[in-house]
Amino acid sequence: MRADATFIGVEVDEAVAADAAIAAKLAEVCPVDIYAVEHGHVVLVEENLDECVLCGLCLDAAPQGAVQVLKLYDGGAALQRV
């Protein structure tokens, strides 16, 4: 699944989006509520995407490569884990 705003895009692998435990963790760690859980699946709260502070907590909460935060203002460059 992918959602784009003006400055930030977020991609979540479909298998990870369907994992209730990872969905809950993503919703828990995001300080600006980009992730929510509906029926055990992660959903992207599109109106919050541009609030992303590029903290990387969602990258740490999911398996490697399962979540991508894309900086659309920088040619779609992906945020890297630190």
Q: DSSP label at 47? A: G
Domain ranges of the chain: 2-78
Residues 37-75: tens digit of each pLDDT: 999 999 999 999 999 999 999 999 999 999 999 999 999
pTM value? Answer: 0.93
Residue pair 4/72 in contact (Cβ under 8 Å)? The answer is: yes
**CATH number, domain 2-78:** 3.30.70.20
**Which tens digits make up the pLDDT trace of 1-47?**
999 999 999 999 999 999 999 999 999 999 999 999 999 999 999 99
Burial of 57 (0-12, 13-18, 19+ CB in 10 A): middle
